[in-house]
Structure formats: C-alpha cells, structure tokens
Amino acid sequence: MTTTEASRARSLRAHERRVRIWSLSGTLALALGVAASSLGEVLTEGAWWFPYIGVVIVVLAVAAVAHTLIARAWIGSLVGAAVGLATLTLFFAPTTAIVGIIPTLDTFDRFGALIAQGQSSMESQRFPADADTGIVFLICLGAVGLSVAMDAIAFVLRRPALTALPLLIMLAVPAFVRSELHDAFGFAVTALAYVGILLVAGERTTVRAAWPVVASALVLALIVPVLLPSVDPGESSTSATGLISTGVNPILNLSNDLRRDSALLALTYFSDEGDEYLRVAALDEFSDETWSPSERELDDANTVDEFAPAQGLSDEVPRTENVMQIQIQRLRGKLLPVPYAATSITDAGRGWVWEPEGLTVASSFANSKDANYEVSYITPAPTIEQLEAAPTELPAGFEKYLALPESLPAVVAETAQQVAGAEATRFDQALALQKFFRNGDFTYSEEAPVAEDYDGSGAEVLGEFLSAQSGYCVHFASAMAAMARSLDIPARVVVGFTPGQRQVNSETDEVRYAVTTDNLHSWPELYFPTVGWVRFEPTTSVGSTPRFAQSVNDDPSTPDVDESKPEPTATPTASATPGARPDAPRDDIPDNSTPGETQISPWWLLLLAIPFLLAIPALVRAVRRGLRLRAVGRGNVALAWREICDSAADLGVAVSRNATPRQQYEQLAAQLGLVTSGADAASSSSSASSALAAVLAAVEASAFSPRPHPVRREAVTSVLASLRSSAGWKARVAATLAPRTAFDR
C-alpha cells in the first residue's frame, strides 16, 4: 500500500468515526427529547421543554466535539458535564457568575435555593403543576445528568443497550407522581428512539436486522403500563405533604383547599388589632373562566422596606397605624400574606417586592414557606359621609376595573339594577349589593356548585349561581364584583384569609391568632375616589361586614341607633366567624405536625419496570439465536459459525470479523483454552474442542465443495455452552442483558 493510499484510508476511517460519533450523539439527544414528553402528564403548558432540550443539545454536542478530537472517551463526557454546568449558570444565575458562565460560590447558593424552591413547589402543587423557575431548574439539572449519563454509557462504557436506564427514569417520573399517569404512546415513541440508538451504535446494523426489537419495543410499550401496579394516590399532592400552595392564581386552588377533610394550620400572627383580613392576591381581570391577576413584571425597585401609599387613599381619610408579626407554617408560594394597607415589611428575606395597584407582595424566586416577618400597616377608617361623597369620575386607567366579558349572563346586570340601581350613591349601591347576598335568601355550600356543575369563578357560572342561590365565597365575591362593575363601580376580587382564631397562652397571657385552611377566603374590593379600595363581605354567614367610622350626621334623636353602621354585624358565633367554612368545627386548631397519612413515592415501580426495558436486547439476541439454530438443523453451516463467533464477542472475547474461519478458530482456542496450546483441533480430547473442530471442518468443506456439509445442532450448542462456562459471571451477565451483537448484521 502506498503512502497516499494509507493516508486516504486513515482519512476515511477518521471520517467514518466522526459520522458515527455525531450520529450516535444526535440519536441520544432525540431519545432524551422524546422521553421528556412524559413530563407533559404532570406539568402545564410546555415552555419548560425548550430550556430542557437546549441543555441536552449543548451537553451532547460539546461532548461529541470532544470525542472527535480526543481519543479518551471519558474526557469527552467530563467536558460535556462542565459545559452543562456552565449552561445552567447562564440560564439561571448569570449575575452570580464570572462572565455569566463560570460559577462562583454565590452561584451554588443560588442553585441550592432553586432546588429547595423546586422541591417545595412539587410537594405542594396539584398536578398538572405550573412549571415555575424552581421546577424548570430541576428539569434542566436532570437534563445535564441524563445527558452525561447517556454519553458515558454509549462512548465510555460502550454499552449502548444500557441507555435504557436514563430513558426509563424519565418515563417513570409521572408514575412517581401518580400511578395512573402513564402514556403508552409516549412509551412507544421513546422505545423506537431507543431502537434508533441501538441501530446507530451497531457497527453493521440495518433496519432489517432490527425488526425484532422494533416489535418487542412496541409490545412492551403497550403491556408495561398495564403491568405497573396501581397505587392509591392521595387526593392531591398538597394533602399528602400538608402544604398549601398559593400558586400563580390562588383562586384556582381555593375550592379544593376549602374541601379538605381536615384543616391545616397555614400561619399564625400576633397583632393588637386581631380582626384583620390577610390579603394574598388581588385579581382584576375577569374572563369567561375565572378572575385572575394582570400580568405585570415585578419591579425589583419596589422593595418591601417601604411601600407606596395605598391607591386613591387621601390624607383626609382617618387611619390607625398597626404592626403585625406573621409566622408562616404550611403555606408556600411566591405570594406573601399581608394586611391592608402595608407600609413596610422587615425580616421577610430577599426577593420580595410590592405590587403598586393591589399592594400585594410577590417574588420571582423566593418562597413564603417558613417565613417569619413583621408588617407595619395602616387601617383606613373612612366615614360613611366620605364614601357617599366620593366623586364618580375615575382616574385614568381604571376602565379595566369595569370590564366585563361578553359571555356574562344578562341576568347579572339585570339583578344588579333591580337590587341597587335606584340607590343615590355608589356607596349605597355597594351596601345594597352586599345586603342582597346576606339577607337570608342565599346559603353557603361547597358541594352545591360541584353537584350542579357551576363551580368556579368565571362569568359563565354566575347565572347558575344567582339562580341556585347557593355557593361558597368564590361565587359570592365574583358575583358582587361583576354586579358592581355593571353599575360602573370599579371592582376586583381578593384572595386571602379571614381573621384567625384567638388563642391565649395561659402562662404568659400572650395572644396569637391561628389561621387555617378553613380561613381561606375571597371577597370583593370596590374603589371609591379619594377613599381608595374598600373591602365588602357578601358571603353569607362568613367573616364580618366592614365597619365604618362614626358619621357626623348621626341623628341625635335616636341615641340607641348608630347610623354610621348601616348593616350591624351580629355577635360572632361558631358558624358566622371567623372562617370561610361555617360548618367546620372550631374547637381544635391543627398543629404543625406531619399528617398521619403520607403518600410514599413508589420508587419500586422503577425496579419493576427496568427488566422489561432491559429485556429488549436480550430478547432480540435470544430470538436470533433460536432462528440460527433452527437454520443449522436445516443444514446452514455458515449461521452455525456466525452464532459461535457472535456468542464469543458477547462474552468479551476478541474475534476478528475479517479473519478466516481457521484464524477465528485459533483465536478462540488461544484465548479460551478449548484445545491444548499448540495442538491441532482434530487431535484434541476435549468434547467442546471436538465440536468446534467439527463445525470448522464443515464450514471449510462447504466453502470448497458443491454439496452441503451439515453439522449437528448438538455440536453448536455444546460449543456455546463451553464458551459460557469458560467466561466469568460478569461477562455472562453482560452477554445476557446487553449483548454486543444483538443488532449487528
């Protein structure tokens, strides 16, 4: 061979190697991308998939470049892991890193906070859950781990069949959340992607040779979800972990939280003014489906050290200054409960900012769980005279607080006109609406809306609610806010907590208020220029109606009647206050202990499912061996010799594929000791050696003779048994579970 020919041959081999590396890396990325579809069962929308697949592609592409340039495969996997870490840093903590990608100690602190946030979010959210920043970080962190594992298995260990394990972990995630969440179609597509890995990894693999594994993968995709044992899941993940999630829009979870079998302690607070509602979110957008908060970017400049003045509150309105110490127990999320109107918060931790219109407190990354903070706030006390004298002209931009969806039933506006249309002022109209719901015709019920299919807070359910006259706080608040808007009174719905139950420490006389899930509540706030936002309480038998300051026009001729209180509230009773569930017992306030019933994650499902996926290469190899032995019985000598060489290769014995049968025989004999060193096969006393020699003789005779020279099937099986017995147990296990020649041509 000339120098030019040798150079051309080396160049060709290098090109083939590059093609194989990039083809295999691309197939690994494809399989991971397809397997991630299983997460669609437990996560809403799909925006999380793009950072996930971006991390996968970057890690595997960089690793492929390293494999192309560096002979040692483990270096390529290590480089991929390092670049994966840099990618996570760029995506989630660029401000803490050097030039945005080189992590520092602050970067790892940020990662730790994101991990804790993601774990807490998964513990408390109902599924399908919102993929918040913490969850997306965990997904991308898993993408780095799975990508590096797949790369190491394929290139370092050179056992592409074992790439089933990372794929199976991804497919098993929904089953860990809830056993009935398994997608046969997703499993089937992932199984086909896995077949693609094996096809690309095989040196002489063809589609025709892979038909058994395709069939096996599809069959397993259909039977594995059926064979997975069913686990009785909890009612929700929150009930299992004993956490209450506020979510992006807490009104969406409110009905389920109210229907808990037993109350959970959400928070406790200390305040001289105990009768305080705590606000979590202000919902100003009204649609067919629900009330929701406007989408606004959080302004990092709005730190909780100092709040802006309450919207619309003039200096003429009387107020009192108060302080409240709040300790969160089992409430988690990116929203922080505060009274109205907060002026500052201390000790809440980093990341919390206030929203200027609703004066609610939120964060893009912090978590309310276990927070302990102090809130300074004012309590506005407008007089009836001030409320009645409030101007009707609204500030610019307040039109959104009057918007009503087209799907709103006409009966809502018609009822508002009948109830309050004739009142002189907007404040009088608001009082009339509140009295309409609390006059005794409406009843509180958490079950009637579900039974009669009008549960929810959207526009379409309000007609049914007004007809049935039965519902819970969400229906009352939504109906009054919508009716107020139809009367040109700006309105929104607020979600939070009614005042907690008063508890006195017998030793220290310290008073605290315990707020549970029974106190979860929603109510309307109506806006009056020069006064601001005012709370109303339409929900019958729940909470307390607002009290207003003494009017200067109180009639002196009726000293026993206080006209400043247009709707006096009766003495609180066990059914009337203070909570959103009038039927719930108030004697025992749950403590912060872990609930008795805990849902155990079924990790053993993974152990049960592993053999099914790992069985694919073994099944293919077993089927191929059986077909070859049947062909041997019909006189096919070539397949007999091929089966012997493939079995040896599966066991880790080096047998050159380009050698002649005689040379291959000598390699087997030298490495496995089937014959005495230096002796001829024909003179060996070993039965296995004799069988191997017989097969070799038949192969050589058939190559030079026009007539066939069959070999006994027993001779072939004897050689195969001898090969297995001469190998160690590790080699035998590897040959069974991950045969190297399962997909060779």
pLDDT (tens digit per residue) in 683-715 = 434 667 788 888 888 888 887 777 777 888 888
What average pLDDT is seen over the chain?
78
Confidence of residue 345 (pLDDT cuts 50, 70, 90): very high
DSSP state of 162: G
Residues 328 and 473 in one domain: yes
Confidence of residue 185 (pLDDT cuts 50, 70, 90): low
Confidence of residue 735 (pLDDT cuts 50, 70, 90): confident
639 pLDDT higher than 70: yes
Higher model confidence: residue 255 or residue 522?
522
207 pLDDT higher than 50: no
For residue 576, the model assigns a pLDDT of 40
562 pLDDT higher than 80: no
Query: Which of the listed residues 173, 193, 227 is the one where a domain comes to its end?
Result: 227
**Cα-based angle 158, 219, 23 (whole degrees, multiple of 5):** 30
Determine how many CB atoms are found less than 10 A away from the CB of residue 251. 25
Residues 286 and 197 in one domain: no
With respect to residue 731, please indicate whether it lies within any of the assigned structural domains.
yes
Under a CB-based contact definition with an 8 Å cutoff, are residues 520 and 254 in contact? yes
d(CA 113, CA 130): 18
Q: Is the dihedral of CA 481, 485, 489, 494 positive or negative?
A: positive
Residues 193 and 255 in one domain: no
Whose tokens are 């002196």? That residue is 556
Higher model confidence: residue 231 or residue 544?
544
Under a CB-based contact definition with an 8 Å cutoff, are residues 214 and 195 in contact? yes
d(CA 151, CA 90): 22
Strands 331-332 and 244-245: parallel
Under a CB-based contact definition with an 8 Å cutoff, are residues 533 and 302 in contact? no
For residue 247, the model assigns a pLDDT of 60
Higher model confidence: residue 535 or residue 546?
535
For residue 232, the model assigns a pLDDT of 36
Higher model confidence: residue 214 or residue 88?
88
Determine how many CB atoms are found less than 10 A away from the CB of residue 115. 14
Cis preceding linkage at 341, omega within 30: yes
For residue 225, the model assigns a pLDDT of 45
Which range has the worst mean pLDDT, 333-342, 511-520, 653-662? 653-662
With respect to residue 162, please indicate whether it lies within any of the assigned structural domains.
yes
With respect to residue 123, please indicate whether it lies within any of the assigned structural domains.
yes
d(CA 541, CA 475): 14
For residue 681, the model assigns a pLDDT of 38
Residues 110 and 257 in one domain: no
For residue 420, the model assigns a pLDDT of 93
For residue 525, the model assigns a pLDDT of 95
311: its two tokens? 């919207």
What percent of the chain clears pLDDT 70, i.e. is strictly above it? 76
For residue 313, the model assigns a pLDDT of 92
Question: Which helix (H) or strand (E) covers residue 375, if one does?
Answer: strand 372-380
With respect to residue 744, please indicate whether it lies within any of the assigned structural domains.
no
For residue 661, the model assigns a pLDDT of 86
Average pLDDT score over residue span 20-48: 81
Residues 322 and 190 in one domain: no
Residues 139 and 56 in one domain: yes
For residue 124, the model assigns a pLDDT of 59
Residues 486 and 387 in one domain: yes
Higher model confidence: residue 588 or residue 698?
698
Determine how many CB atoms are found less than 10 A away from the CB of residue 9. 11
For residue 565, the model assigns a pLDDT of 44
CA nearest to 541, candidates 510, 581, 514, 568: 581
100 pLDDT higher than 90: no
With respect to residue 560, please indicate whether it lies within any of the assigned structural domains.
no
32 pLDDT higher than 80: yes
Average pLDDT score over residue span 319-346: 89
Average pLDDT score over residue span 134-160: 90
Which range has the worst mean pLDDT, 158-172, 252-266, 534-548? 252-266
Under a CB-based contact definition with an 8 Å cutoff, are residues 545 and 534 in contact? no
Q: Is the dihedral of CA 625, 628, 633, 637 positive or negative?
A: negative
What percent of the chain clears pLDDT 90, i.e. is strictly above it? 27
Confidence of residue 253 (pLDDT cuts 50, 70, 90): low
677 pLDDT higher than 50: no
Which range has the worst mean pLDDT, 205-209, 634-638, 687-691, 731-735? 205-209
With respect to residue 376, please indicate whether it lies within any of the assigned structural domains.
yes
With respect to residue 653, please indicate whether it lies within any of the assigned structural domains.
yes
CATH of the domain at 408: 3.10.620.30
Residues 251 and 191 in one domain: no
For residue 670, the model assigns a pLDDT of 74
Higher model confidence: residue 19 or residue 347?
347
For residue 255, the model assigns a pLDDT of 66
Q: What is the CA radius of gyration of the chain?
A: 36
Residues 182 and 261 in one domain: no
Query: Which of the listed residues 194, 227, 260 is the one where a domain comes to its end?
Result: 227
Question: Which helix (H) or strand (E) covers residue 316, if one does?
Answer: none
535 pLDDT higher than 80: yes
203 pLDDT higher than 60: no
The reported pTM is 0.54
Determine how many CB atoms are found less than 10 A away from the CB of residue 65. 17
Higher model confidence: residue 406 or residue 240?
406
Question: Which helix (H) or strand (E) covers residue 516, if one does?
Answer: strand 511-516
Confidence of residue 466 (pLDDT cuts 50, 70, 90): very high
Under a CB-based contact definition with an 8 Å cutoff, are residues 168 and 10 in contact? no
With respect to residue 304, please indicate whether it lies within any of the assigned structural domains.
yes
Domain of 725, in residue numbers: 634-737
For residue 476, the model assigns a pLDDT of 93
658 pLDDT higher than 90: no
Highest mean pLDDT among 220-229, 230-239, 493-502 belongs to 493-502
3-state class (DSSP) for residue 494: strand
- Total structural domains within the chain: 3
Residues 210 and 254 in one domain: no
Query: Which of the listed residues 535, 559, 585 is the one where a domain comes to its end?
Result: 535
Whose tokens are 């309450």? That residue is 310
Confidence of residue 435 (pLDDT cuts 50, 70, 90): very high
